[in-house]
């Protein structure tokens, strides 16, 4: 997680907090095209610029420089988690269809 800055009393360092505040909104389809739903599993993730510093017992702004620099890694990690969930959902839907066709 991004560390907050420690700037009190002339200090200029970062402290690891191991927490972050975010919201995830999962959608299974995109906007309809011509009135027909467009299946498209995707997520909107909003990350607040806030992390809780237990030592100072307060929320502080996070330092996102390293996360931004390593964005390709985090994007790949996100997709590696999203894809298996997509396949599980599709497999469940196919199984249900098979049962109705019996």
Nearest Cα to 63, choosing from 24, 17, 9? 17
Cα 80 to its chain centre, rounded Å, is 12
Alpha carbon distance 72, 88 (integer Å): 25
Predicted confidence band of residue 1 (pLDDT cuts 50, 70, 90): low
- Cβ proximity of 4 and 62 under 8 Å: yes
- Predicted confidence (pLDDT) per residue in 24-52, tens digit: 898 888 888 888 888 887 888 898 988 89
Is the model's pLDDT at 3 over the cut of 60? no
CB-CB neighbours of 50 under 10 Å: 15
């Amino acid at each position: 997680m991004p560390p907050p800055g420690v700037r009190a009393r002339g200090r200029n360092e970062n402290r690891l907090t191991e927490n972050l505040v975010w919201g995830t909104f999962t959608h299974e389809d995109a906007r309809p095209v011509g009135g027909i739903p467009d299946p498209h599993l995707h997520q909107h993730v909003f990350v607040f610029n806030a992390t809780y510093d237990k030592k100072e017992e307060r929320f502080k702004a996070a330092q996102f420089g390293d996360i931004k620099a390593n964005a390709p890694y985090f994007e790949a990690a996100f997709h590696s988690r999203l894809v298996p969930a997509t396949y599980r959902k599709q497999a469940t839907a196919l199984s249900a269809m098979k049962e109705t066709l019996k």
